[in-house]
Amino acid sequence: MFRTHTCGELRIVDVNGSVTLSGWVQRVRNLGGMTFVDLRDRYGITQLVFDDDADKSLNEEVHALGREYVVQVTGMVAERSSKNSKIPTGDIEVIVKSLKILNSADLPPFTIEDETDGGEELRMKYRYLDLRRTPMRKALEMRHKMALEVRQYMNDQNFLEVETPVLMKSTPEGARDFVVPSRMNPGQFYALPQSPQVFKQLLMVAGYDRYFQIVKCFRDEDLRADRQPEFTQIDCEMSFVDQEDILNTFEGLARHLFKSLRNVDIVGDFPRMPFADAMKFYGSDKPDIRFDMRFVDISSMTKGKGFKVFDDAEYVGAICAERCATYSRKELDQLTDFVKKPQVGATGLVYVKYNQDGSFKTSVDKFFSPDDFKEWAEMCGAKPGDLLLILAGARKQTLSALCDLRLEMGNRLGLRDNNKFAPLWVVDFPLLEWDDNSQRFYAMHHPFTSPKDEDMELLDRNPGEVRANAYDLVINGVEIGGGSIRIHNDGLQNKMFKVLGFTEEEAESQFGFLMNAFKYGAPPHGGVAFGFDRWVSLFAGVDSIREVIAFPKNNAGRDVMNDAPSYISKSQLDELMIEIKNK
RNA sequence: GGUCUGGUAGUUCAGUUGGUUAGAAUGUCGGCCUGUCACGCCGAAGGUCGCGGGUUCGAGUCCCGUCCAGACCGCCA
């Protein structure tokens, strides 16, 4: 027997018991006449004592111990003379009678501690060591528990988990597919699913009524801190529902997860914000509403006073930073540099300090009067002591830059507390997006999204104005998930394909099976998919989804631990009838 | 495809205008130490300054190229 207890479970009631523990050596503290060893496993840390007065026979073996050695010990549980309140086992220790080294260990390249000294690259290369650290273990435990609670809630709501294929058909719409060559069908390829979208709709046609799946999805696009080539979704679909039913059902899921994982009660209904308002007031389709600082369009009040930047601008927008009128020249310069970064893309920043005494100090004193500033301040709801930050230029770029500036100010002012949660439904998304390059409309969500009934007639004459029955769940400025009510009749679906520029043949070859299915009694249905990794990372309070994925890829899509992807042999290629082109 | 930041001891980093033998902390190793829990004290070892080229009397430092890592833009229905 390797152990009678784990390293996390012995307490004061176990004193005088004989126990056997196995684990990893976290740390050795040799005090000369006695030695303490912290023994670690997944469940915790237990202190071992080797006391010369009691028994010198183990001296040599203890001396040989190194970090991360795997050992087994037998001994007696004793109450500590000096207790450690920081760990659950801190009242006791094990006086060791026998010690067996099960395996020695090379010196790890970084310290296996909560605050490791290891950099990102090393941690990824030796991920199995990184995963020994408590923060990583806790993140994966959080992930496990979240999956469990999702299944619990969904089961209670009558949802059925159904597995859908991983090898499926490639479709050119949307993200780039990962493809898998088929040996038995030379020259043909499967695609890995970007989402099980069509399968879940077919399950609705099949009458399964409520489906969900915690499922891996794949997209062959460049990575980010919150984007991996393979990621996990909570994928859901329901029949005989309208948008309201879906929002309510999944608001319930969100509440259940907030409560069970973070013990947070969200008071009141989740707010809902039309996409158009989100863009107008926050410059983003995923606003962080933990703090207000809404944009105010002051274009009308800033023109015709001879300040060319404002006069030429399509849009002049302001945000009000409370109690920031005391900002120094240096701080304002930093903000100016921030908005001028290529990633933000503003050409400059205008500030208006509304001083405590009611006077104004601004970067545009030459062009405007104190009365002008007073008007702007009133419009922005600014009080003496506040600071207005103003960007101007083309509408789209300026809204986007102002969004970045708002979030930066939120960070500076400590308004983005990781332990505070502000969920939000963004609704009424546009159905279509015009793409200048290819001179055609693309589905903003996906081509199966239904237009709003009241906008249906616009579909022919002004498709860009049509709003969709589509919605996103946004928490703290993170897009946690999104979905839509689907089209369930083949006539409307055909029309959508037409608007999207598909020929009948293309629509038939790519989605014919779905259109065909719709002919056999498709119920009205809709659904949603949540980014499981993002949600876990939000609850775990970490910045990157890599921190909640056991074995993630790096930013070039590589697994630096096993060096995938890799070349395959000539014979493998031959079998697949594939030839590699020289660059 | 692009922009930016970084690569120096096992690790995390510092390194002045281009100038003597490249430093600190931590870890490691050795010694001392009987109540530590980030133990303490003393001592030691540890470097292809990512790689290649160039400028220079002289390059960790400047220039060019390249590789690697990270953040972001494009992309991600």
Per-residue pLDDT of chain A (583 residues; tens, 9 = 90+): 999 999 999 999 999 999 999 999 999 999 988 999 999 999 999 999 998 877 788 888 899 999 999 999 999 999 999 999 999 999 999 999 999 999 999 999 999 998 888 888 899 999 999 999 999 999 999 999 999 999 999 999 999 999 999 999 988 778 999 999 999 999 999 999 999 999 999 999 999 999 999 999 999 999 988 899 999 999 999 999 999 999 999 999 999 999 999 999 999 999 999 999 999 999 999 999 999 999 999 999 998 888 999 998 999 999 999 999 999 888 888 888 888 877 788 888 999 999 999 999 999 999 999 999 999 999 999 999 999 999 999 888 899 999 999 998 998 898 988 889 999 999 999 999 888 777 888 899 989 999 999 999 999 889 999 999 999 999 999 999 999 999 998 889 989 988 988 888 888 888 888 889 999 999 999 999 999 999 999 999 888 899 999 999 998 999 999 888 988 999 999 999 998 876 5
What is the biggest distance separating any 2 CA atoms in chain A, rounded to whole angstroms? Answer: 93
Distance CA A22, CA A7 (A): 8
Per the structure, the residue whose CA is closest to nucleotide B31 at C1' is A32
Is the pTM value of this prediction over 0.90? yes
Nearest Cα neighbor of A531 from A521, A539, A523, A522 is A539
**Predicted confidence (pLDDT) per residue in A139-170, tens digit:** 999 999 999 999 999 999 999 999 999 999 98
Q: How far is the CA of A111 from the C1' of B10 (A)?
A: 10
Cβ burial A541-572 (10 Å sphere, 16+ → b, else e): ebebbbbbbeebbbeeeebbeeeeeeeeeeee
The torsion region of residue A71 among left (phi > 0), alpha (psi -120 to 50) and beta comes to beta
Per the CB < 8 A criterion, the answer to whether A423 and A254 are in contact is yes
> Which chain B positions come under 7 Å from a protein C-beta?
1-4, 10-13, 26-29, 32-40, 68-77
User: How large is the ipTM?
Assistant: 0.91
Handedness of CA A124, A126, A120, A142 (dihedral sign): positive
Q: For residue A88, give the amino acid letter.
A: P
Across all strands, nucleotide nearest A198 (CA–C1'): B77
Strands A34-41 and A18-30: antiparallel
Q: Which residue is nearest to nucleotide B10 (CA to C1')?
A: A109
> Residue A264 region, left (φ>0) first, then alpha (ψ -120 to 50), else beta?
beta
Closest protein residue to B1 using CA and C1' atoms? A222
- With tokens 């369930």, the residue in question is A488
Do A449 and A484 touch, CB atoms closer than 8 A? Answer: yes
Helices (runs of H) and strands (runs of E) counted in chain A: 17, 22
Give, in Å, how far the C1' of B7 lies from the CA of A234. Answer: 39
Residues A279 and A430: their CA atoms lie apart, in Å, by: 12
The SS3 assignment for A464 reads: helix
CA distances from A211 to A163, A238, A361, A489, A529 (A): 10, 7, 60, 20, 11
Lookup: nucleotide whose C1' is closest to A83 CA: B37
Comparing CA positions, the residue from A455, A433, A458 lying closest to residue A444 is A433
The neighbouring-strand residues paired with A399 are none
DSSP state of A106: P
Shortest CA–C1' contact from A442: which nucleotide? B77
Give the CA angle between residues A281, A286, A291 to the nearest 5°.
60
E strand or H helix at A538, and its extent? helix A532-540
DSSP line for A380-434: TT--TT-EEEEEEESHHHHHHHHHHHHHHHHHHTT---TT---EEEEE--BSEEE
In this complex, the nucleotide whose C1' atom is nearest to the CA atom of residue A404 is B72
Distance separating the N- and C-terminal Cα atoms of chain A:
58
A441: enclosing H helix or E strand? strand A440-443
Through-space separation of residue A125 CA and nucleotide B15 C1' in angstroms: 28
CA of A110 to C1' of B61 (A): 29
Radius of gyration over alpha carbons of chain A, in Å?
30
Contact A497, A260 (CB under 8 A): no
**Token pair in block for residue A242:** 């309208």
User: In the structure, how far is the CA atom of residue A8 from the C1' atom of nucleotide B44, in angstroms?
Assistant: 38
